[in-house]
Chain A
Amino acid sequence: MGSVVRRLANLLPGMKLARWKQMNNEFAMSRRSRPSASARTAPSGRDSPWRPAAAEIWLVRLCIAMVVGLTATAVLAGEVADPDLPVAEHIPDSPPTGIRLAPGVTFSGYGTLQLLVPDRRSRSQSDSDDEDDESQFSRRARLDLSHLSGIVWWEPSPAWKVLGEVDLQDVVQVPRHVDDDNDGSDSSSFVALDRLYVDYHVTDSLSVRGGKFLTPIGRWNQEHSDPLVWTVLRPLISQSAFPTSATGLMVFGSVPVDARWVDYQIYAADGGEWRPDPHSQAFDRALGMRISTSLDRSLQFGFSLSRFGEEGDASTSFTLAGIDAAWSWHKVEFSGEAIVRHGSDGSPGNEDGWFGQAVVPVGERWWAVARVEAYRRAAVVSRSRTALIGLVYKSSAHWVFKAEWARASGSADGLPSGLLSSVTLVY
């Protein structure tokens, strides 16, 4: 097929019909039996003196293009339809297959457009607040291309995998949000390096990961991508009590225990965060582990433990313990997480909190979501609470719509109240 295309491509410029006939005969002969070199190059000796009109040449070119196009389509269709070759599955809700950039290299990602409308209480509170609002909520209503994420993974061999994720955050905002941390001269848009690591499978139960990875504390942080979570607003305990990513080493794997699988992750970091997020703390050092398993086919349970220090306050060590659980049955899901964090030098670093979330189907592809969250920082006397209700539509064409109303109470420093909505497209 490739040689045919090359031949036709060579013929197109300035081609004479007689020459085309000669080559066509050669091609027909080559299809029947492979001719000798002399047969392929021998002149026919029957060149016609007739010269075609320009219109005829263009007509022939058009026909050739159609034949080539149809042939190529048929060949490709034949490859896809070959019953002896496995193909990617396409059923409703199946993930995309990614874009194959090269053998073993796959590109995927997602983009999210958010509409955030804080309520009056939230706006008036923010107007009187001198501190920077570092939550994902703006003080004013805004439309925000909040995430444009690209994920590339490369599997050069069965034992190795390289994965990187770059997230363009807040690329477009209307109205434009000015980041006071950045001299007030720039927007809050940021090119985040979410993950960049190399995995080596030592055995099938033991792998080593080196690089930047999501901190394995709780379920939410490791599955925080917009297409995977049910709400626009992220629970505080999944992001405030610990740095959400670490640059270091991790040992991980899955071990069968009876008829179940136990997943484990043990990690260590020694500062040096790769491209740290300017809006969150990075690890100065960390040593932690996480174990998760399915207690039965519907109930997943996880336990996380970590001891770490944060950059900017290296003298303080924190010990964090967390549990998480998720129960799903058909399209109903209940999930929750809880954490306790203690600082080595007394109360200022102490934090604890929990959230519970329910997701119930209300239509063919619609779900209702409700969540309550409580969070307490030692520096703030009272406990803050957030309640959230929302609707989610999951299309079978890999896009998700979310709309929710969040209400913060108590000393809800940095917590939003208002309408949050988003559309996420996975590719």
Chain B
Amino acid sequence: MLAFATLLLACVTSSSVTAAGAEVAIAVVVGKGRAPATPLSPALVVGIFARKRQLWSDRSPILPVNLPASHPLRRNFSRWVFDRTPEEMQDYWNDQYFHGVLPPPVLASEEAVLRFVASTPGAIGYVSTCAVDRRVDVLAIVQSPDGAAPCPR
């Protein structure tokens, strides 16, 4: 009886994990008409948001912006791109601080990211694929290894 209950619990847990694994994908965006000729590779997404890449191909500065660490989209972005939570990334940023490199600043909401990216040359941010509109171009799609869930209606 106990073994059956354990097996049942394991099945329920497993199915719930799979269901929760697929989440809405994240779009890495720049202002309309400012997209580079080639889409960003996963390594370049890492490089830009880790501040290893600081110049666009025309030598203008790359200005990455983050969402707040508590924002669900930021947490997913950090896990999918860096395989670390925002808190676990702080060791890296503390190292960089002593080399004169500061982490990307934050904006409060996806709408703020869209407005800032749309109006600021060189700016790059990320929003839910469901929030993408005509103000921005999508450079890359970041999603969970479990796949992307459709936008909620």
User: How far is B65's CA from A159's CA once the two chains are assembled, in angstroms?
Assistant: 20
Q: Which 7 A-B pairs have the closest CB atoms?
A: A86-B105, A153-B100, A256-B43, A95-B97, A158-B61, A93-B90, A297-B83
> Which residues of A have CB within 8 Å of B135?
none
Closest chain B residue, CB of each to CB of A161: B100
Closest chain A residue, CB of each to CB of B100: A153
Secondary structure class of chain B's binding surface, majority of residues = loop
Report B84 CB to chain A, min CB distance, Å: 7
* Interchain CB contact under 8 A, A225 and B98: yes
Interchain Cβ contacts under 8 Å between A and B, 29 examples: A84-B107, A85-B107, A86-B107, A88-B102, A91-B69, A92-B87, A92-B90, A93-B87, A93-B90, A94-B90, A95-B97, A98-B97, A153-B100, A158-B59, A161-B100, A201-B55, A204-B54, A223-B98, A225-B98, A228-B94, A228-B95, A228-B98, A256-B44, A259-B46, A260-B43, A261-B46, A261-B50, A297-B83, A328-B91
A24 at the interface (CB under 8 A from B): no
> Which residues of A have CB within 8 Å of B100?
106, 151, 153, 155, 161, 163
Report B64 CB to chain A, min CB distance, Å: 9
User: How far is B66's CA from A106's CA once the two chains are assembled, in angstroms?
Assistant: 21
* Interchain CB contact under 8 A, A159 and B69: no
Contact with B along A386-416 (1 / 0, CB 8 A): 0000000000000000000000000000000
User: How far is B106's CA from A261's CA once the two chains are assembled, in angstroms?
Assistant: 24
> Which residues of A have CB within 8 Å of B65?
86
User: How far is B83's CA from A204's CA once the two chains are assembled, in angstroms?
Assistant: 24
> Which residues of B have CB within 8 Å of A94?
90, 93, 103
User: How far is B44's CA from A260's CA once the two chains are assembled, in angstroms?
Assistant: 9
B60 at the interface (CB under 8 A from A): yes
* Interchain CB contact under 8 A, A297 and B82: yes
A89 at the interface (CB under 8 A from B): yes
Contact with B along A216-255 (1 / 0, CB 8 A): 0000000101011000000000000000000000000010
> Which residues of B have CB within 8 Å of A426?
97
B78-121 residues with Cβ-Cβ distance < 8 A to A are: 82-84, 86-88, 90-91, 93-100, 102-109, 112, 115-116
19 more A-B contacts (CB under 8 A) besides A93-B90, A227-B98, A256-B43? A83-B107, A89-B66, A89-B105, A92-B90, A153-B100, A158-B60, A163-B99, A163-B100, A204-B55, A204-B57, A228-B94, A256-B44, A259-B41, A259-B43, A259-B46, A261-B46, A261-B47, A297-B84, A330-B88
Report B105 CB to chain A, min CB distance, Å: 4
Report B72 CB to chain A, min CB distance, Å: 15
> Which residues of B have CB within 8 Å of A153?
100
B39 at the interface (CB under 8 A from A): no
Give the B interface residue count (CB, 8 A).
46
* Interchain CB contact under 8 A, B87 and A91: yes
> Which residues of B have CB within 8 Å of A22?
none
* Interchain CB contact under 8 A, B102 and A93: no
Closest chain B residue, CB of each to CB of A333: B91
Report A300 CB to chain B, min CB distance, Å: 11
* Interchain CB contact under 8 A, A98 and B59: no
* Interchain CB contact under 8 A, A256 and B105: no
Closest chain A residue, CB of each to CB of B105: A86
> Which residues of A have CB within 8 Å of B82?
297
Report B92 CB to chain A, min CB distance, Å: 10
A131 at the interface (CB under 8 A from B): no
* Interchain CB contact under 8 A, B108 and A158: no
* Interchain CB contact under 8 A, A158 and B54: yes
A97 at the interface (CB under 8 A from B): yes
* Interchain CB contact under 8 A, A108 and B87: no
A316-359 residues with Cβ-Cβ distance < 8 A to B are: 328, 330
Residue with the highest number of chain A CB atoms closer than 10 Å, among B50, B66, B94, B104: B94
> Which residues of B have CB within 8 Å of A84?
107, 112, 115-116
User: How far is B65's CA from A108's CA once the two chains are assembled, in angstroms?
Assistant: 22
* Interchain CB contact under 8 A, A87 and B116: no
* Interchain CB contact under 8 A, B90 and A97: no
Report B116 CB to chain A, min CB distance, Å: 6
> Which residues of A have CB within 8 Å of B103?
89, 94-95
Closest chain B residue, CB of each to CB of A149: B98
A183 at the interface (CB under 8 A from B): no
Report A359 CB to chain B, min CB distance, Å: 11
User: How far is B79's CA from A412's CA once the two chains are assembled, in angstroms?
Assistant: 45
* Interchain CB contact under 8 A, A256 and B47: yes
Contact with B along A159-172 (1 / 0, CB 8 A): 10101000000000
Q: A297-B82, A297-B84 are in contact. Are A93 and B105 (CB under 8 A)?
A: no
* Interchain CB contact under 8 A, A254 and B102: no
> Which residues of B have CB within 8 Å of A298?
83
